[in-house]
Structure 1
Amino acid sequence: MAGPLFIGSRIYRGSRYGRLHPLSIERVPAVIDLCRAMGWLPAEVYRTSPRAKAAALTAFHTEDYVAALQAAEAAQAVTPDVRDRHGLGTLSNPVFAEMFRRPATAAGGGLLAAELVARGGVVHNPGGGTHHGMPDRASGFCYLNEPVLTIRRLLSMGLDRVAYVDIDAHHCDGVAHAFHGSESVRMISVHEAGRWPFTGALDDDAGGAALNLPAPKGFHDDEFALVLERLILPAVEAFRPDAIFLQCGADAVTEDPLSRLALSNGSHWRTVRVLRALAPRLIVSGGGGYNPWTTARLWSGVWATLAGHEIPDRLPEPARAILGALDWSRRGRPGPALLETLADAPRPGAIRDEVRTAVETLRARHAL
């Protein structure tokens, strides 16, 4: 099995959805810069993401939608009809300079990741994980659905079973739509209850293809550890996947503004570490993450975990300078922990009965 590979692109550098949009922050470039400052990203493990061609995108998206997305980027405007039909030019999915090229590059990174793990291997594609995109419309900051396109490429290469694990704070409604009733894809999603897109209820099994665990506000490391050990790992092991796709959204940590969960980034890194042993192929994407410091730290730690690098207690000065240079439209600056370290302190707590009951309900329902 080849060593882990990292997929990135210049397209993300300076690309913003708009000054006040939650994605007005640098994410993938900050991860690249941090990992290079740490000496973790030599040229031989870095791959430049290609831009997916329109024909490749129609493996999930309609031709009309792909054409509308390209036209909107070219014109930097949409008509009311296009806005209504395709969800382009909205507050969530605005018109911006790279609105086709950027998501097409993220999708191209996923397709490249599938090719790179064909014979076994591990790939980190932090620009991916756009799990809300629908066949004919943009949704939830997602213009294209990279996980669906990547998983369909894996299946087209002859793989029989792909496990999709999603620990983003928001439910993976676009992925669930794509693989509803599938016998080839098992979806396991842990997300905040009562949070947009208001899908992924405990009793929603996507036609037998999914296990959904809506987590209560304040969901912390000890509760996540229970879910990981009692639900995620047994469900993946029972499926015996040829490949695992981990959507590792960074928005379930305490400091993220778009959730009310309370994880440390250690929960994400532990998930990466334990899933790696369960299949010969692992793709880890990004996803949500709307605090620039926590997102950059979390995904850099994902790469360190995959590549076997030791995370220091305190970052060296070049890495601290990268975190210190990040900006945000929100007021205030983070404290020393977010500027000088990579690993969060553990965020433990008492395990609530509602979490235990939800886990045991799903275990019984799926005979785990």
Structure 2
Amino acid sequence: MLTQPLFIGSEIYRGSSYGKKHPLRVPRVSTVMDLSRALGWLPPAQFVNSPRAKPKALEIWHSPDYVAALQAAEDAQHVSAETRARHRIGTLDNPVFPEMFRRPATSAGGAMLAGELLADGGVVYSPAGGTHHGFPDRAGGFCYLNDPVLAMLSLRRQGVQRIAYVDIDAHHPDGVEHGFAGDPDTIMVSVHEEGLWPRTGAVEDDASGSAFNLPVPRGLNDTEMALILDRLILPVVTAHRPDAIVLQCGADAVEEDPLSHLSLSNNAHLRVLRALRPLAPRLLVLGGGGYNPWSVGRLWTSVWGELAGHEAPDRLPPEAEAVLRALSFEGNRHGRNPPEHWFTTLTDTPREGAIGDELRTRLDMLTARLKASY
């Protein structure tokens, strides 16, 4: 069993970008690494350099033709119209860029390594992970490979049977749901913005009984997320009695994200994390979406602090503050006049509010399903 939480990262994310106009032009994992080190939270003994998954290893879920197409596209920096149509690479969402195979293969390698490291129990954090839209034969939603699926299959190879996958990204994890639909040993809970791409995950969708989908209205606040945690996430996970929990902790559900319309503070994510941690002997926490560099850096560093047992300071020390002040967000309104607290703190002010009737109704539906299932 791991004696301390481990952080899986890589320098490949520092210089890699999907392109100057793509939402993933912003630094994310490198910011978390730098900020954690500036705070003294990431000693060498807890940092694991992510391996790059070999093509053959990816074929445990992805098709050989697709893996080969990704490699060929990286080598040629071009795709044919046929490849674009079949595999959905070389599109605006899933562009050709210099590390388009090596970068996702690194996050996939980290996820599969996490499964091995967790064989006997413990906690692993891989903020580069969480690419939950990848399908066996195609890319989707900025995701070329599906590292959550690969991580869970890695856990299975270690003899871990019952897995709970919890996803609090603003987008529905369509690729993960596809990967484990109907698997009685895997349960999925997804809280995602209603009507947001990929526009899947309706409350009525049950994926043969293995998924609890909760689409939420725009403006979801911390009070509502606390209710979701108490009435849906914790009851489902507790009833499943998992041997391992995989938490996808997408930062795009935070209010300042430019691609979604939810109003959470980063306290909501940390509250979910704290509540889930004692419910299984193995915990893997992944990143996911998040397209405001300050929101992502502050939230994901806070997640690592929580896992590693560190308390966030009221004001960041100068070295950590310098990491956040060095960020920029060109071409977006959030980057014009960032508020001072984005530079000086990790934790947001809570964003409490009223609980909507529509949310209560959907929770009632899912609660009834849960009672009928267990």
TM range (shorter): over 0.9
- Which residue of the other structure, out of 340, 347, 350, is the alignment partner of 2:351? 347
CA distance in 1, matches of 2:91, 2:357: 40
Worse-matched range after superposition: 157-166 or 322-331: 322-331
Shift of 1:343: 0.1
What is the match of residue 232 of structure 2? Answer: 231
Does structure 1 retain, via aligned residues, the 8 Å contact 2:119–2:159?
no
Shift of 1:166: 0.1
The SS at the match of 1:271 is: helix
Identical-residue share of aligned pairs (%): 62
Does structure 1 retain, via aligned residues, the 8 Å contact 2:29–2:127?
yes
The SS at the match of 2:24 is: coil
Does residue 367 of structure 2 align to residue 366 of structure 1?
no
What is the match of residue 43 of structure 1? Answer: 44
What is the match of residue 64 of structure 1? Answer: 65
Superposition pairs for residues 258-337 of structure 1, below 5 Å? 258-331=259-332, 332-337=336-341
The SS at the match of 1:358 is: helix
- Please list the CA deviations of residues 224-245 of structure 1 after superposition, one character each: whole Å capped at 9, or x if unmatched: 0000011100100000000000
What is the match of residue 79 of structure 1? Answer: 80
The SS at the match of 1:288 is: coil
Structure 2 gaps of 5+ residues are none
Shift of 1:329: 2.4
TM-score (norm 1): 0.99
Shift of 1:365: 1.1
Shift of 1:337: 1.3
Worse-matched range after superposition: 290-299 or 327-336: 327-336
CA distance in 2, matches of 1:250, 1:330: 20
Superposition pairs for residues 196-275 of structure 1, below 5 Å? 196-275=197-276
What is the match of residue 166 of structure 2? Answer: 165
AA aligned to 1:75 is: A
CA distance in 2, matches of 1:205, 1:339: 42
AA aligned to 1:58 is: E
The SS at the match of 2:264 is: coil
Measured on the aligned residues, the alpha-carbon RMSD in Å equals 0.8
Shift of 1:333: 3.2
What is the match of residue 136 of structure 1? Answer: 137
Does structure 2 retain, via aligned residues, the 8 Å contact 1:165–1:245?
yes
Shift of 1:330: 2.3
CA distance in 1, matches of 2:364, 2:57: 40
CA distance in 2, matches of 1:336, 1:360: 41
Does structure 2 retain, via aligned residues, the 8 Å contact 1:20–1:329?
no
CA distance in 1, matches of 2:246, 2:269: 14
Worse-matched range after superposition: 322-331 or 343-352: 322-331
The SS at the match of 2:187 is: strand
CA distance in 2, matches of 1:32, 1:341: 16
What is the match of residue 30 of structure 2? Answer: 29
CA distance in 1, matches of 2:95, 2:330: 17
What is the match of residue 342 of structure 2? Answer: 338
The SS at the match of 2:36 is: helix
The SS at the match of 2:73 is: helix
TM-score (norm 2): 0.97
Superposition pairs for residues 184-203 of structure 1, below 5 Å? 184-203=185-204
AA aligned to 2:166 is: V
The SS at the match of 1:366 is: helix
Shift of 1:56: 1.0
Does residue 94 of structure 2 align to residue 90 of structure 1?
no
Shift of 1:136: 0.5
Does residue 151 of structure 2 align to residue 181 of structure 1?
no
Worse-matched range after superposition: 349-358 or 292-301: 349-358
AA aligned to 1:316 is: P
AA aligned to 2:305 is: A
AA aligned to 2:235 is: P
CA distance in 2, matches of 1:366, 1:330: 45
Shift of 1:153: 1.2
Worse-matched range after superposition: 332-341 or 272-281: 332-341
Moved over 4 A (4+): none
Aligned residues: 368
- Please list the CA deviations of residues 228-272 of structure 1 after superposition, one character each: whole Å capped at 9, or x if unmatched: 011100100000000000000000010000100000001111111
Shift of 1:293: 0.3
CA distance in 2, matches of 1:58, 1:85: 17
CA distance in 2, matches of 1:143, 1:325: 29
Worse-matched range after superposition: 246-255 or 266-275: 266-275
Shift of 1:144: 0.2
The SS at the match of 2:224 is: helix
CA distance in 1, matches of 2:263, 2:316: 23
AA aligned to 1:56 is: A
Shift of 1:156: 2.1
